[in-house]
Structure 1
């Protein structure tokens, strides 16, 4: 009853807030339109639009390049401007009022002092309501020095404050104390369950195919849900409606190509992108037959088709497919594959109301094959998510915007199957499937309460059902233990099994102290109904995803964040400080020695408890000039407290890294030459080292403390550098550039793993048959590192 009362009060405030916004709205005529890049018809985000006689009444374009502006006595002159583009001034007549007016801006010839690294208005970080939101322009991502010359989206996001990494070379994101599975990574609205290649060394996103990337780590809009820590919202690029364009690159280990242009007419476009590695081709050049027979490759394919159906309707279809395969001499094979697709219909209802409907399907599957006459097997798994989302938007004035909608998601985690090969002694294993339906309703509004104070209010309510086909196990005393199972019950397909629901309020405020300084505060509650149970912090392609059910309640987090934002020197410099505190409930972790990959009773291998995290993030960023980039420092801590782990005392997960420093610099020497530099420093990850050894059957076994992750790897630091040379632009259609990059410039040997084992004669790889008799034996530590000084070269082109 108490919970119901609190919810009722919250909803009452919500309705009152909405009514006040509606009453304050005025029924003025509205001019609607969009601002596009004349060279490729892409929307220009954050373009300024205002009447020439009334500059103070101006607005900026949204994520789709659209704007809504209070009309005035017509005809009047409308000014449209965007940094780096020629200004447009056009007289708007009475007949154009209420219609969709388009502006095509031409890129201007920029001097070096006018180079901008961001696709947004210069004072956006001060004036918007968002805390913890970041955006790195695609062009900036392409200029960051990269591993093997492979420009990578997720590794670029790791350079932002508040984001930790799992270790050397990996693309996993650990945002504000959350694990990697607590991030929603989506492409045009469709979730991607494994966004990495090569065991996490590269992400699945080819930079040429991307339009924009938004990262939310603070006040996530109410229209998004299902994950606790972060949203990585990736949009694929639409084709231009002018002519066929192309771009691509030939790199050290892979090549890529993208084509885009009109499809049937100027009202339909396409964009197709592909990438493939040829690492396996280099293996065939080896003189070693065992190496020649190995296979190691990945590929990506993406496509987006857009259709304008008149002035009020637009359809888009997107699809991404990518896979990896690792094969060792026809004896072992590991492969995994993503396939996501989505369709979106955008409809303009009236001059200030809009409707968007999207449907998606995401599938992820993997398989392991082991060829052995005695113990050969094939192990496979598949999971998928399908969903539909509808959203209405109503923007009565530029001071009051609102939205509401629904989302329904169906999870299907197929049975895990282990099939023995012919003659194998391994017993077959088949688990039961897991299925769930999550239906959510949401609403949100943004209101300018005064010229200095603005507020955003959001509410999301999720209703989750675990459904059959499935099995529940019952244990003596109600505590999951595989050895004391007493009963089980099966459920037919779509039969209700368990139900959870969660109310997720979102609230944010911004107070504008002056034109260059603002203070923001936000509160977010999120629920998550899927988790990963894994022994690895880095994330593996065969990690076990688990749905909420009888023994695993959904995750819940409450986060409070406060930020201070200051711009300097006419918005050329940005400075921000954000601090946060996060409380996490129902987080899972594995018991000591647990194995979750093959069991149908995964609840017997995990324990559930709570966690919390806090931190402060500093960022200084320069946006204009010959030299651009940012410097950030993050101090953060994350803890877990779970009965049965670390003697019930709090402990750090492996990705807890208190100190994190990042420097990113880009310098333009001339129109032909530019250079990039990055430096990262982090505290070493938390680990458990053995405290001793014991011997069993003449084998030395390490002995670990009952306290988890009390040790640390050495601190991690690395510097990367790159130089880019562009062919002079002489009006030719073909434009090329060369990029030379060095990963780990000063050859730092950062540890990837430690192995504790016996060393003979003080040597790591000692062979008595070759090196002679053993005269000494001792316990030793062997460090594995992946990369030192690693150069690469890439040729990029456009036509």
Structure 2
């Protein structure tokens, strides 16, 4: 044997392998019996070490099926929590101490390989990683440089990996995209049971939520406890909370873009999950192999058994269920041309005892054509038809009723991408949306009801926008993303518009005329420019500064005087009296990575200035109000704060810590007392939560066992409280504080989970996993709201704390795929 030559051999000695396995199992580095045991290799011999303390493991990682050299694949020593990544040739070099190591080879979208290596001298080990046959809970399948957060020109862009979504504790074991986004800085919600998210001090309606290019007006199931996104059908998702590209518009705070994945063109696959309150299934495969594929995924709930098990009679007699269904058919006319048709439908039903209930549904269909015209030019054309309807009802008695409203829209979008050389990437195109708000209807429910039917017509409007965006690499250190969007909106007939006495408050008493408009006649026009830019300056290989500015316009508004978004909230288009919201958003961030990009840190400061926010007069009537503008107030808003994030990506312990300090303030200063709130002073919004802290972590116990921990704390949200009472004509009348002058108690919660990945069978085509989770481990009764009740002869109403999930909630879920 030549000196200094590495010998790679398999350890077949059964005694040595047994002792090695026992040692690694005791140290927590190998799974339990019956699980897959990593291959064991020896590189060199003990004699060849010759007193050396370190050795270099080199090699190349490829995909044997395609021959592709894998860029950015990770080579990681579990024993030392030390690793590296491959270069553009797929090569790696890792310096390790002489001795025993468990080395993990990973690449996004590929099967992971684990090798137990006796390393005595320098050696070469080439690895082939196969395409992942089915990705367990895979959410993001995007290969990105490990320092993407530093080199990306945009700030405030959030992307979660599959591990981030799959491994955190969840409510009743149900994976949830929105709940995971809330664990990141700058994203919050007002509490459990609240639909939607608040991003950087923005209202729920200021987020543009796209699911397969279709707008969603309600993103929650079960009154906010779960999101509408089935994790099995998601290809990837991106949240733009800072720098928003010009191809997105129509909202003023953020954009959440969720893509539906295409079905597999070559293999039939099935995946199922069973949980405490929901089950889900996914089927995909080829219709014509290599040409046409399908995907069908669905979820259904069966929460009734939980309600029946509770002691409180009203809850035990309640009902709740939901389902959603997602389908997609994709056809490849050629390698450069693909046509896709997707369908989404969801339904929710909730009834609280015999008192009231909600019912709402969403349907959306999208037709998309993607074409690569040449090596520099590509196109995407989409047409989307959406329909959202909601129903509020009182089920029994002489006052039983049904109130329904909804929205329909047709959206067309044409986007082009032009790769103009190495330094310019252009996105440009146009989009148009036609909104039709369905009439508000009130009808009796049942034969005993005395309610009279009533119908209020609603608005029609259309929005058109043109945009261009250029990502420009000015120099190796300096990059710029600059965009410009021009949007315009028309409010259309048929409609009746009330005219009020000039200079007088908008009240019913001041109505002087009514103007009728015919179908298609323009009632009011709005338009404006929306400039966008983001600048990145690299301070070194692992750090950068980013500055961004966006102006955004919003022509549709959520009208609700409740704290949380509910199914019967009214979506109102801009009119003569309700101008579009306009927001100027600024952010500045510093990004720094450590230890070969295994640790990411960032700090961002932001400021938002918002015009034409909609607020409400005291005791406003928002449903079935044909002159709604008389109960609304136009105000201004501002939000500011800073966000800190520290994230560890490699090692047995991974996760992140985030903290946000922010304020969200409103001001309503009108010409009259009725149109002024808090004497014109700034006051906190209903979702103003100055402090928000989250710790999310995963700890690998062994190869297929890991713990998940999530802890969150936030300041209690503002409320308007009763501060005194007086009696008049034997009636006790409460006196309220200024709007949002008090706060409910602070919120905190601890969740834990244990995930067990079962062994892989049938040539790794079958996989299974169990997740045991405990939500709200401390059983804290976090307040969602505080309301007042009059007990007996007490003069002052008593405050009562409402907790939605005020107890410990254990759950177990099982998932398998083939």
TM superposition score normalised by structure 1: 0.83
Task: Give me the whole-angstrom Cα distance separating, in 1, the residues matched to 2:211 and 2:642.
Answer: 30
Task: Give me the whole-angstrom Cα distance separating, in 1, the residues matched to 2:686 and 2:63.
Answer: 45
Which segment drifts farther, 142-151 or 541-550? 142-151
CA contact (8 A) 2:330 2:339 kept: yes
Which of 346, 351, 360 is the equivalent residue of 1:336? 360
Task: Give me the whole-angstrom Cα distance separating, in 1, the residues matched to 2:797 and 2:65.
Answer: 66
Task: Give me the whole-angstrom Cα distance separating, in 2, the residues matched to 1:358 and 1:380.
Answer: 30
The Cα shift of 1:528 comes to 0.2
1:440 aligns with 2:459: no
Partner in structure 2 of residue 580 of structure 1: 606
SS in 2 for 1:655: coil
1:326 aligns with 2:345: no
Partner in structure 2 of residue 703 of structure 1: 735
CA contact (8 A) 1:629 1:664 kept: yes
Task: Give me the whole-angstrom Cα distance separating, in 2, the residues matched to 1:38 and 1:685.
Answer: 55
The 5 Å alignment of 1:203-282 reads: 203-280=227-304
CA RMSD of aligned residues (A): 2.9
Task: Give me the whole-angstrom Cα distance separating, in 1, the residues matched to 2:485 and 2:681.
Answer: 34
The Cα shift of 1:487 comes to 1.2
Which of 794, 797, 809 is the equivalent residue of 1:790? 809
Count of residues in correspondence between the two structures:
699
Which of 380, 387, 401 is the equivalent residue of 1:377? 401
Partner in structure 2 of residue 363 of structure 1: 387
CA contact (8 A) 2:221 2:348 kept: yes
Which of 671, 681, 700 is the equivalent residue of 1:649? 681
CA contact (8 A) 2:192 2:224 kept: no
Partner in structure 1 of residue 499 of structure 2: 474
The Cα shift of 1:105 comes to 6.5
1:757 aligns with 2:789: yes
The Cα shift of 1:753 comes to 2.1
**Pair 451,551 (structure 1): closer, same or farther in 2 beyond 3 Å:** same
**Pair 57,206 (structure 1): closer, same or farther in 2 beyond 3 Å:** closer
Partner in structure 1 of residue 755 of structure 2: 724
SS in 2 for 1:181: helix
Q: Give CA-to-partner distance per residue, 1:633-691, whole Å, 9 cap, x none.
A: 11111111112111111111110011111111011211221110011111110111111
Partner in structure 2 of residue 315 of structure 1: 339
SS in 1 for 2:702: coil
Which segment drifts farther, 780-789 or 593-602? 780-789
Q: Give CA-to-partner distance per residue, 1:456-490, whole Å, 9 cap, x none.
A: 11000001100012111111125321232111111
Which of 730, 740, 745 is the equivalent residue of 1:714? 745
Partner in structure 1 of residue 411 of structure 2: 387
The Cα shift of 1:598 comes to 1.5
CA contact (8 A) 2:296 2:327 kept: yes
Partner in structure 2 of residue 618 of structure 1: 644
1:669 aligns with 2:705: no
Task: Give me the whole-angstrom Cα distance separating, in 2, the residues matched to 1:471 and 1:46.
Answer: 61
The 5 Å alignment of 1:34-113 reads: 82=107, 85=110, 106-107=130-131
Partner in structure 2 of residue 92 of structure 1: none
Structure 2 runs not aligned, ≥5 long: 1-60, 75-85, 91-105, 113-127, 134-139, 670-675
Task: Give me the whole-angstrom Cα distance separating, in 1, the residues matched to 2:456 and 2:311.
Answer: 43
Task: Give me the whole-angstrom Cα distance separating, in 1, the residues matched to 2:312 and 2:751.
Answer: 33
The Cα shift of 1:306 comes to 1.3
The Cα shift of 1:391 comes to 1.1
CA contact (8 A) 2:785 2:801 kept: yes
The Cα shift of 1:310 comes to 0.7
**Pair 282,709 (structure 1): closer, same or farther in 2 beyond 3 Å:** closer
CA contact (8 A) 2:327 2:342 kept: yes
Task: Give me the whole-angstrom Cα distance separating, in 2, the residues matched to 1:702 and 1:677.
Answer: 44
CA contact (8 A) 1:118 1:623 kept: no
Task: Give me the whole-angstrom Cα distance separating, in 2, the residues matched to 1:175 and 1:408.
Answer: 25
Which of 495, 506, 518 is the equivalent residue of 2:544? 518
Task: Give me the whole-angstrom Cα distance separating, in 2, the residues matched to 1:778 and 1:198.
Answer: 34
The Cα shift of 1:794 comes to 0.8
The Cα shift of 1:387 comes to 0.5
CA contact (8 A) 1:126 1:517 kept: yes
1:133 aligns with 2:157: yes
Task: Give me the whole-angstrom Cα distance separating, in 1, the residues matched to 2:335 and 2:162.
Answer: 29
Structure 1 runs not aligned, ≥5 long: 1-34, 49-54, 60-80, 88-103, 110-115, 761-773
**Pair 371,533 (structure 1): closer, same or farther in 2 beyond 3 Å:** same
TM superposition score normalised by structure 2: 0.81
**Pair 433,756 (structure 1): closer, same or farther in 2 beyond 3 Å:** closer
The Cα shift of 1:213 comes to 0.9
Task: Give me the whole-angstrom Cα distance separating, in 2, the residues matched to 1:466 and 1:45.
Answer: 51
The Cα shift of 1:735 comes to 2.0
Structure showing greater radius of gyration is: 2
The Cα shift of 1:290 comes to 7.8
Which of 543, 561, 585 is the equivalent residue of 1:559? 585
Task: Give me the whole-angstrom Cα distance separating, in 2, the residues matched to 1:678 and 1:460.
Answer: 40
**Pair 567,362 (structure 1): closer, same or farther in 2 beyond 3 Å:** same
**Pair 202,793 (structure 1): closer, same or farther in 2 beyond 3 Å:** same
Task: Give me the whole-angstrom Cα distance separating, in 1, the residues matched to 2:388 and 2:802.
Answer: 31
